[in-house]
Chain A
Amino acid sequence: SQTIHQWPATLVQPVGSPLSLECTVEGTSNPNLYWYRQAAGRGLQLLFYSVGIGQISSEVPQNLSASRPQDRQFILSSKKLLLSDSGFYLCAWSRAGTNTGELFFGEGSRLTVL
């Protein structure tokens, strides 16, 4: 069976500090991978998605970046966090080549920037 792991679960960071969130998927190959952000009381905003190693599409211009160094690894980074980067970050995967619309989400990383 497929599983998705995301870490850390919670972090508190000062403004201007760097960020690295990691996500790995097990039990499947060549998944589509996604990073979403959910601000308090708001919907999910797609930040990045990837259909393969090294292939990253950015949906929203911001001070965040994403990388996919391995097939089942997706990393969200920032060099300098802003207060507005606070939120609930969710990694997700879907099966490549299908249009079922089913995303499988990790448990999320709750980021507070102070």
Chain B
Amino acid sequence: RKEVEQDPGPFNVPEGATVAFNCTYSNSASQSFFWYRQDCRKEPKLLMSVYSSGNEDGRFTAQLNRASQYISLLIRDSKLSDSATYLCVTRAAGNKLTFGGGTRVLVKP
């Protein structure tokens, strides 16, 4: 079993719609959680950290459920520019991050 699992998608989303997807992690010692965004054939970049109480950054909302060991990302009012692969990332002790395989989102006009 992969340590961090994601639905690879693609999630086809009409422009302006809301899309949400989850990520499950198996390491109960995971301490920190993040969402990264990766555009096609580009390097990943940090989108947002995920806090225990949930957090928003503009149109993006992240949630953490420690009991069920999953995190989620919700994108409201989707823009064409939101089309990308979203990588779920966890960190246990130390600075090593574990990446999921990514969820591909395609926003269409």
The answer to whether A43 touches B96 (Cβ under 8 A) is: no
Chain B binding surface, main DSSP class: strand
Q: Is A113 an interface residue (CB 8 A)?
A: no
Query: By CB atoms of chain A within 10 A, which of B32, B97, B98 has the most?
Result: B97
Q: Looking at the assembled complex, report how far the CB atom of A74 sits from the nearest CB atom of chain B, in whole angstroms.
A: 15
| Interface size of B in residues (CB-CB distance below 8 Å) | 25
Contact with B along A89-108 (1 / 0, CB 8 A): 01000100001111101111
Number of A-B contacts (CB under 8 A): 53
> In the complex, how many angstroms separate the beta carbon of B27 from the nearest chain A beta carbon?
14
**Inter-subunit contact B95/A32 (CB<8 Å):** yes
Q: Please tell me if the beta carbons of B32 and A105 are within 8 angstroms of each other in the complex.
A: no
Question: A43–B101 contact, CB under 8 A?
Answer: yes
The answer to whether the Cβ of A56 comes within 8 Å of any Cβ in the partner chain is no
Query: Contacts A105-B45, A108-B43 hold; do A43 and B32 have CB atoms under 8 A apart?
Result: no
Contact B42 A107, beta carbon cutoff 8 Å? yes
B54 at interface, CB cutoff 8 A: no
In chain A between 48 and 104, which residues have their CB closer than 8 angstroms to a CB of chain B? 49, 51, 59, 88, 90, 94, 99-103
A105 CA / B38 CA spacing, docked (Å): 11
